[in-house]
């Protein structure tokens, strides 16, 4: 392949020096490639001229036939791309998702021959940006509306849970409706949090107000704010509230869409599906 590419570039430019410069290889290396082709076919491909080189009749035949060959090889390479055994993969995610979902699977991925590097960011928005900026090949993050060019595969669904102090009036309930939640001051992460976006959508669909009392930055522990609040409630995924203070209680939200979905995202369908199958 490389030998034919070098040969064709020299034929187009009628100069081995100019062709080697365009291909970013040395003059000597390109000359050896052309010599190897001549030995392989037992023909002379170029004649030297005062201006550079010129194709012989044999060289003209190889030039005409090799174009189709290179096109066919490019098509074959493209067709085989989904089966390519890429090994080193960078996965973008958030700290809680990494610890709850990805770390238990790292050994499985390594057994399949993958070298996995996790790249964590504090907000989902930052995680999504990494994929489009080319910093990572894949994301494992909360599902959200994405550009049609992004392949997505769902991994896991989990309910959203209200968290409050033990002396809160709702602490004794088995479930909390959105209407009840809307009557309370909320403690939520700043804009950009997918849980907040989910709640905003749910409240809007029911024409309910959402009273945000406190906004917490992503690097801060939101449960600490709830524990020291006399009345505020927060909402978190179930996996995030498995270990909480004795001063806090959890109550499920009474709504079928009050849940989050963890998904795999990739600009390459083949890569996304491969990791999705290993994690599912």
pTM above 0.95? no
What integer pLDDT is reported at residue 60 of this predicted model?
Answer: 94
Cα separations in angstroms, 9 against 2, 32, 34, 91, 128:
11, 14, 11, 39, 41
Q: Could you tell me which residues are beta bridge partners of residue 266? A: 138, 151
d(CA 163, CA 251) in angstroms, rounded, equals: 7
What pLDDT sits at residue 81? 64
Of 230 and 201, the structure prediction assigns the larger pLDDT to 201
Q: Residue with structure tokens 């979902």?
A: 101
How much of the chain, in percent, has pLDDT values that exceed 90?
Answer: 40
pLDDT category, 204, cuts 50, 70, 90?
very high
Model confidence at 217: pLDDT above 60: yes
pLDDT averaged over every residue in the chain: 87
Q: What is the mean pLDDT of residues 235-256?
A: 90
- Dihedral of CA atoms 121, 272, 136, 195 in degrees, nearest 10, equals -20
Say what the pLDDT of residue 82 is.
63
pLDDT at residue 83, as a whole number = 62
- Structural domains of the chain sorted by starting position, each given as residue range(s) with its CATH number in brackets: 2-83 (1.10.10.10), 88-155+261-279 (3.40.190.10), 159-260 (3.40.190.10)
Q: What is the pLDDT of residue 257?
A: 92
Instruction: Answer left, alpha or beta for residue 97, where phi above 0 means left and psi between -120 and 50 means alpha.
Output: alpha
| pLDDT of res. 144 | 79
Specify burial of residue 230 (Cβ count, 10 A radius: 0-12, 13-18, 19+).
exposed
Lowest mean pLDDT among 90-94, 112-116, 163-167, 185-189: 112-116
Q: What is the per-residue pLDDT for 84?
A: 59
Token pair listed for 146: 């994405």
pLDDT tens per residue across span 100-159: 778 877 777 777 777 888 899 888 888 888 998 889 989 998 887 777 888 999 988 999
Q: Which residue has the tokens 């968290």?
A: 163
CA atoms of 128 and 205, how far apart (whole Å): 25
Q: For residue 236, what are the contacts with CB-CB under 8 A and spacing of at least 6?
A: 160, 161, 163, 195, 222, 223
Instruction: Please give the pLDDT value at position 1.
Output: 73
pLDDT at residue 53, rounded to an integer:
92
């Amino acid at each position: 392949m490389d030998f034919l590419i070098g040969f064709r570039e020299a034929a187009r430019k009628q100069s081995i020096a100019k062709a080697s410069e365009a291909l970013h290889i040395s003059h000597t290396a390109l000359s050896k490639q052309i010599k190897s082709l001549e030995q392989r076919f037992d023909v002379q491909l170029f004649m030297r001229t005062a201006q550079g080189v010129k194709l012989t009749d044999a060289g003209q035949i190889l030039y005409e036939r090799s174009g189709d060959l290179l096109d066919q090889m490019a098509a074959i390479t493209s067709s085989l791309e989904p089966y390519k055994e890429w090994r080193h993969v960078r996965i973008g995610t958030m700290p809680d998702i990494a610890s709850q979902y990805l770390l238990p699977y790292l050994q499985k991925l390594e057994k399949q021959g993958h070298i996995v590097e996790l790249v964590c960011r504090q907000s989902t928005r930052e995680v999504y940006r990494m994929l489009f900026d080319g910093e990572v090949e894949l994301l494992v993050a909360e599902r959200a509306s994405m550009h049609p060019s992004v392949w997505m595969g769902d991994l896991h669904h989990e309910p959203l849970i209200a968290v409050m102090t033990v002396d809160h009036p709702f602490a004794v309930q088995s479930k909390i409706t959105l209407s009840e939640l809307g009557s309370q001051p909320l403690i939520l992460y700043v804009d950009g949090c997918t849980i907040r976006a989910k709640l905003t959508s749910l409240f809007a669909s029911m024409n309910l107000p959402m009273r945000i009392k406190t906004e917490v930055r992503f690097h801060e522990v939101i449960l600490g704010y709830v524990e020291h609040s006399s009345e505020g409630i927060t909402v978190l995924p179930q996996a995030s509230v498995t270990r909480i203070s004795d001063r806090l209680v959890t109550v499920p939200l009474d709504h079928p869409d009050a849940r989050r979905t963890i998904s795999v995202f990739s600009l390459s369908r083949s890569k996304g599906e491969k990791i999705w199958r290993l994690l599912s």
